[in-house]
Structure 1
Amino acid sequence: MTRPRVAVSTCLLGEPVRFNGGHSRSRFLTGPLAPYVDWVPICPEVELGLGTPRETLRLETSPSGPRLMTRASRNDLTEAMSALAGERAATLDADGYVFKAKSPTCGIHGIPLYPPQGPPIDRRNRGLFAESIIRAHPLLAVEDEGRLNDALLREAFVERIFAHARLRELLDGDWRPRDLVAFHARHKMQILAHDPDLYRRAGRIVADAGTLARTELAAAYAQTFRQALSKRASLGRNVNVLQHCLGMLDLDPVRRDDLLTLVESYRVGLVPLSVPATLLRHHAHGQNAAYVREQSYLSPYPDALRLRHHLPPDPPIAASPVRHRADPSCSSPTSG
């Protein structure tokens, strides 16, 4: 499986680069995820030459926007940090980025903004460095280590970085239009689970693979693919995809009913997604159903990460019969 390249705040890997000389080692990043990714460690404060340990920073109000200030000596680091962020953004080659939470440089949620005197007046900001990176790469998969403690957010982030890595590997190579068609065929169910409209748009782009210029084709498909993966896969769309895949298998009535029951159990929150997805993959192998078996949706990242074992949030209370409606556009590897 392709190894994602993931930028990460250096302190999260256990390096003692925090303002107090310590670190903020993330157990998930340095434990389960580490064997499967290539890290790109970044600490903008150290790169700026602030040293470790160092004076603490904060964001402050000004007529020209937030300023990055040292708390005691009152040095304004805004221009220097913005320049560094611009350089890093211009050369960043990564499939995702995990930022340090609550940092005035790297935080991506809830960073306080202070007036020159007094308590914070706004806690809805991003760190100065992180804001520049995200503005330059709006479809980059980004999270902070705190939010990765949430099972849903952790799974969504990991799914995106592996999907981005597979696309990067394709487009960085000597690919031809037929290779993009094959890539799209393997990812159709995964895209559909995230955004049906973008799924159809991606299909139209691939249908024009033989007529568009290579660079135009790559840019259009990459934009649509990454945009689709940035949308959260909902419970309803997961059920829809499971039903589509089931409809492509020629199962006997008993096995089909077993799978339908598990899909419904997932829909009402009784079992995690891993249960029907694993059985579906098992039947696809047994049947030698290559199109279903090769769908990235069934194996979006290494199984050892165990990320689909959580129950869906807020499932519907009332159950309804599961019915499969075949979608002609999903019936073959080459269709849009």
Structure 2
Amino acid sequence: MTDKPFSPVTIGISSCLLGGNVRYDGGHKRDRFITGELSKYMRFIPVCPEMGSGMPTPRPPIRLVGDPDNPRAVCVDNPDVDVTRQLRTYSTKALANLDGISGYILKKDSPSCGMKRVKVYPEQGGSAQRQGSGIFAHTLMSHLPNLPVEDEGRLNDPVLRENFINRVFVYHHWQQLTDEGLTPARLIDFHARHKYLVMAHSQAAYKRMGRLLSNVTKNALRRISQDYFSELMSALQRPVNRKGHTNVLQHIMGYLKRNIDTHDKQELGESIERYRQGEIPLVVPITLFRHYFRLHPDPYISRQVYLQPHPQKLGLRNQL
């Protein structure tokens, strides 16, 4: 099993995370992982909603006030200055320039770009509640509900980081499929290639997706494919635990049982169990599987996304 090539994937990103001096204080929030290792595999489209909507830098800071589900953005020092409309207008226009992206990384806690748990202050003063989303982030996620979105703070968690990048590449695979021309046969093939990746997240979701495709026809293709993709991205958003990975690894081991000897089976089985117990990271049994399948190729497993869903050099499974 040879390493798969990965062409760069395009994602949107808050400009300050790339080092752009666009923040209210004239500074930036450059992220080393994003601008370093991740930049080798991602093309970034930087967006700063505040500057894009006409605000200067440096500028008076803004914050969210009112209803956490529908907050307003106002200046901290002068609440009479309401910039909600200009941010919303820009956000809607900006989406037109983001056509074709496969994911988005937002700036945490930002009143424009915060994904979740952004502070929202009461209109009449008092303590803030961490129940809001930034104006731009809310527009983005409402218009593109299946798009993989994360903030840079959550990407410090190894599980959430790997989950997000998994979703970005699956989203990109789907875009390639639709660009090539969706057919019932291609949709079923896509489902088969992503079997074990989805099963690790949710066996129930994989079964529901299979039922959706059980009677797919050309006439129903558009409706079914939309339902299928929503189910897929929803399932992948759920982080995988050790139990989910262990179950999939044991399934895949079945494809080797006739090709490897007792000693190798024992080594592989012990590796899976040690991973389940939390003694070794996921990359160890995965590396063993890739070794054995290089020696004993299996046409079905060779097409499975699960064994290499993203570039190995990112090292995302080294910490799982």
Shorter-chain TM-score above 0.5: yes
- 5 Å-filtered alignment, 1:177-256, equals 177-210=184-217, 212-249=219-256, 250=258, 251-256=260-265
Q: Match of 1:78?
A: 84
Counterparts of 1:169 and 1:38 in 2: how far apart (Å)?
Answer: 16
- Residue 83 of structure 1 aligns with an amino acid whose one-letter code is T
What is the identity percentage for the equivalent residue pairs of Structure 1 and Structure 2? 38
Q: How does 1:24-63 map to 2 (within 5 A)?
A: 24-61=29-66
**Deviation at residue 215 of structure 1 after TM alignment:** 1.9
**Counterpart selection for 2:163 from 156, 160, 181:** 156
Give the aligned partner of residue 308 of structure 2: 299
| Aligned equivalent of 2:3 | none
Q: 2:71 aligned to 63, 66, 80, which one?
A: 66
Structure 1: give runs of 5+ residues left out of the alignment: 312-336
Which runs of structure 2 are paired with 1:129-168 in the superposition (5 Å)? Answer: 129-168=136-175
Which residue identity does 1:55 align to in structure 2? P
Kindly indicate whether residue 270 of structure 2 is the aligned counterpart of residue 278 of structure 1. Answer: no
Residues 257-312 of structure 1, C-alpha deviation per residue, up to 9 Å, x if partnerless?
A: 1111000000000001111111112211211112112211000000000000114x
Q: Give the SS at the match of 1:41.
A: strand
Shift of 1:234: 1.9
Q: In 2 relative to 1, CA 71–176 (structure 1 residues): closer, same or farther, beyond 3 Å?
A: same
Contact kept in structure 1, 2:13 and 2:106, CA below 8 Å: yes
Indicate if the aligned counterparts of 2:68 and 2:131 stay in contact, CA closer than 8 A. Answer: no
Deviation string for 1:196-233 (max 9, x for gaps)? 11101222233333454332243132122212211221
1:266 aligned to which of 275, 279, 284: 275
Q: 1:166 and 1:57 mapped to 2: Cα distance?
A: 38
Is 1:95 aligned to 2:102, yes or no? yes
Cα gap change, 1:117 to 1:176, in 2 (>3 Å): closer
Deviation at 1:147, TM superposition (A): 1.3
| 1:16 aligned onto 2:24 | no
Structure 1 position 254, deviation (Å): 1.3
Counterpart Cα distance in 1 of 2:85 and 2:116: 22
CA contact (8 A) 1:58 1:68 kept: yes
* Worse-matched range after superposition: 227-236 or 44-53: 227-236
TM-score calculated relative to the size of structure 2? 0.91
Alignment: residue pair count? 311
